[in-house]
Structure 1
């Protein structure tokens, strides 16, 4: 009998964080307001990621902007930018998460929710950010 694959709670939290960051940006509200508007309070890890991206947003965006050669933040697809923000936050602030996991998870989110080229783009930018954000 085949076993049913169990969902990865951390992957799911990253996906929920992406939804909340996208919602905030599309509604013109802060990520914290997006959390507060939820009928059911998001889980702890989802909130940690969203609040972390909000708290460190300027620094993360500046780092992404430096490494996204040929792209401005304003020109990036919204999903790609928010996936990059999540990945950059995890590289900078969540040293308990291995670098390979951060990159793999971000690439999977980009592939699943954005364009055909997004996985490669996200991987390239985050790989360049490793030396900037991880000591």
Structure 2
């Protein structure tokens, strides 16, 4: 479990960095795979998460836009957007991760990397996505 937690954090960092630098996340991912910037290459699950998020980008953005009542994507903190994208992908498209684990992991990520209000927001939004996911597919 700790390995997946670290992989999620690395995936979040990559998605966040790409957004902050105005880069394509897929291009940044391929750069990091080819030439890691740390002594440890990206964990395979981090690669799987980023590729999954990119593969379903439009659907994820639509889900977040639809279910984040009163919040536009642009209004959300960038770290929260990245964690939410990962959480939505895990809930909707990754059957290996139980929904509540995906929610909990996203909440933990923003709890350590974002604002004080982020855990409650991320928890509420991803819990709602989990409740309605059968209608999303």
- Structure 2 unaligned segments of length 5 or more: list them: none
TM-score, scaled relative to structure 1: 0.90
1:13 matches 2:7: yes
Q: Secondary structure at the match of 2:89?
A: helix
1:27 matches 2:21 = yes
Give the structure 2 partner of residue 113 of structure 1.
Answer: 113
Separation in structure 2 between the aligned mates of residue 130 and residue 88 of structure 1, nearest angstrom:
8
Matched, 1:82 2:82: yes
Superposed CA RMSD in Å reads 1.4
Structure 1: give runs of 5+ residues left out of the alignment.
1-6
For the residues of structure 1 that align with 2:56 and 2:13, how far apart are their CA atoms?
A: 18
TM-score, length of structure 2 as denominator length: 0.89
Equivalence for 1:128: 128
1:59-98 deviations in whole A, cap 9, x for unaligned? 0011011111110001111000110000000001111111
Question: Corresponding residue for 2:68?
Answer: 68
Residue 134 (structure 1) shift: 4.8
What is the DSSP-based 3-state SS (H/G/I as helix, E as strand, rest coil) of the residue aligned with 2:74? Answer: helix
Tell me the matched-pair count: 129
